[in-house]
Structure 1
Amino acid sequence: MKLATGVGPTAAVLSVSLLCLLLLVLVAVLMVSQSRAARRRSAEEAVRAHELAEGHAAQLRAELDRREERLSEELRHLHAQEAGLALRSAELDKRQSEVRALEAQSQGALERAAGLTVDQARAELVQTVEAEARREAVLAVREIERRAKAEGDQRAREIIAASIQRLAGEQTAETVVTAFRLPSEDLKGRIIGREGRNIRAFEAVTGVNLVVDDTPGLVQLSCFDPVRRETARLTLEALVADGRIHPVRIEEFHQRSRTEVERLCLRAGEDALVVTGIDDMHPELVRTLGTLRYRTSYGQNVLGHLVESAHIAGMMAAELGVDAGVVKRAALLHDIGKAMSHEIAGSHAAIGAEFARRHGESAEVVHAIEAHHGEIDPRTVEAVLTQAADACSGGRPGVRRESLEAYVRRLERLEEIAAAHDGVAKVFAMRAGREVRVMVQPEVVDDLGAQLIAREVAKQVADELTFPGQIRITVVRESRVTEFAR
């Protein structure tokens, strides 16, 4: 019993060990079988993939074979077309050579028939085409000019008419007083003084020549400076009213007259600013502007001309939508250089522009003053409007005077310029030189030639002559046919 009892636990341990070993074996067998199954599946998948790849490759090879066959077919077709084109090219070359031969034959025949070589015919053709092109160009230019002139004239007439109609300017020009009427003839002796003492003192103080002649009750003041002459007139008026005429009183009244003239000039400049609606101007400009009330240009009062030009320029600027303030300012100051003395060299336009620049005027105003007589090209709208306003104010009929000699010379020169052109029969200067009628010979000058003569005469007149406003050039070409009935 003890032996059985002692053996029993060992057998149990062995049996457990055997069971564990069997389990291990079974696990190993299962793992081996699973591994084999996985390898078999991988092999099968690889075989299937290989079969698929081979099938795809076979399809690609078949597709490539089909494309190669198509390309070979197209290549054979292209070779056939190339051969056909080569045949056609050869035929065309042959025909071209035949055409050249025919052209040479026909050219020779034409040269023999016309009596001209190819170069001569080409030159004649070029001349014909050039003449036709020139004629068409002249016709086109004339049509363009006609349209532009019609539209421009219409617009200009509207603007200028609207501006001038709104301005009621004086029609008579104010003149500077050069003669002084005395209350009595006895005053002439007192003005002359003992041995001419008073008249010498008067001329030395005022700088004005006092002419006492045989004209009853009248003495004359002679001086080129109108401001100085007006000062002398006021001085003489005060002396005559006072009755005491001697050198001391002459100096005293002359000083008072100078102060009075300066006050009147300043007042005239301020009135001009008020009338034109301009403010904020340098006092020196206002004073110098006022001195122009005593100056005239061809009989037209310069200050009145400036005020009138400012009104016209302002209204034209308003019609065009331009800043009217700048244009009116430029037009009011454009002739301020005429107030400067001879000591300052240069034209009144350049002097006035520099004077305005020194006293704070803008660049637009300075340029308009400088360009209003065309000494430099106008670059702004303000400058062009200033020129137009100056021409409108100075060019209207009756506003200015000119000497008879200068007037006759201008008319003669107008007729000479027009008569110098070929084909001109007669020339007539009409409307006081505002229009020139040119009669041409119809058998010598055609319509285009008449157009060219009108343009050339207008250009030459504008370049050589100085005149206010504009001059119309009219070329008349008249054809007359005469027959006799017998």
Structure 2
Amino acid sequence: MDITLIIASVVSLVLGVLFGRFGLRKLFQRWEHDALKKAEMIVKEAEIKASAIKKERQLEAKEKFLKLKSDFDSEYNRKKNQLAVNENKLKQFENRIKQNELKFKQREALLTKERDQIKRKNDELDREREEVKGQREATLKARENVEKLRQEQIASLEKIANLKADEAKEQLVEALQDEARASASVYIKDIMEEAKHTATKEAKKTVITTIQRTAAEHAIENCVSVFNLDSDELKGKIIGREGRNIRALEASTGVEIVVDDTPEAIIISGFDPVRREIARVSLSRLVADGRIHPARIEEVVSKTRKNIEEEIMELGERTAIDLGIHGLHPELIKMVGRMRFRSSYGQNLLQHSREVANLTATMAAELGLNAKRAKRAGLLHDIGKVWPEESELPHAILGMNLAKKYGEHPEVCNAIGAHHDEIEMTTLISPIVQSCDAISGSRPGARREMMESYIQRLKDLETLAMNFKGVNKCYAMQAGRELRVLVDAENVSDVEAGQLSFDISQKIEKDMQYPGQIKVTVIREMRSVNYAK
């Protein structure tokens, strides 16, 4: 019984081991099959991810390549344009060099011709000197012979006339005196006529020589300035949201900013060159800084006005140095600088004054007068036109008073005051300054009355509006077709602003003459400003 149980147990154990091994093998085979499937799935997923990453990297590389290509093309075009600009500048410079060389050759030829003429004249003078020397010797010999004959004739006459030599001499002298008076009268008349003719000829020669030796430019009528931009994107910043930046800039400077389709440029329009210059410099600083908003615009415009005053002083000093004029009072130097931004009948006042100074100095030198003092008077003759305060005096008298106030020589003061015949001329420099002023102003193309009358009409328009109560600033815009008036918001209400616009328009219709119509725009802007500390 025990053996049977043992055998059964052994058989069961063997069978269990066999079944266990078979089951484990099946289990292992199933696990191996599942693992292979998972491995295949992982490999497939990895291949899909690798393909996606590869495509993504290819797209990124392609985009990067296109961006680099675009940047390279932009840089290439920019450098190409810059190269074209430099080439144009180089061509212009070469043209100027050629023109200067041509002028130098012409002057050299003229000097050579004059030198040859002087040499010929010297040779002629040497020949005439030799002839005069020979004639002098012959005259001395003839005089000795005449003296001998005179003595012989006197002796013969004394014998024939039974007169003494003294008595005969008195009768002869009386006869000769009558004849000499008649001859002298005719001779004096001929000399006077010849002197008048020669004086007129020499005066014309002096004036022509002076004009030829002094360079001059023609008048230019210009009421716009072009401000160049690096890109058209800056136009949007300058205009600002709903146009607030451009309105603030126009209100601060008094000019009109024209933003149109012109590539990389905007136009600054205004009749006053000082306003245009302030607007141009302010725009340049705002664009360079990048911060463009109304508060910043007003700050930059205020600083620019101060800088323009410094530039005016520097310009006056440079003008005085260029002309060789020293010892001018600082106020006179400042007024000379202001001439740069003033025109008279379309002729720039500083250019006109420099031209008159050179003409006056040249003419004074030709006539043997003090050329430095004459040049000083020529430069300062129109300073009365740039005096910033209103005055009822003519500009010549006002300029003379200013010259006296700042210690100029009496001859200079008289020349300034008398160049339009307001006072009597007391020095020789005064008529020279008057003549040179007329020469500079009356030569062809020097002046254009149309521009002067146009600017005066715009100034009268602004002055008329400024006389109304509550008006802070006033600017004539669009060539006088619009009058833009800025009023004090605390003293003028909205209703009063409308009435003010109507009153100004009625006043313009009543007191002024103008073509077309004038738009009167009254701007009332309320501002509240506080500071956080």
The TM-score, its normalising length taken from structure 2, stands at 0.44
For the pair shown, the structure with the greater C-alpha radius of gyration is 1
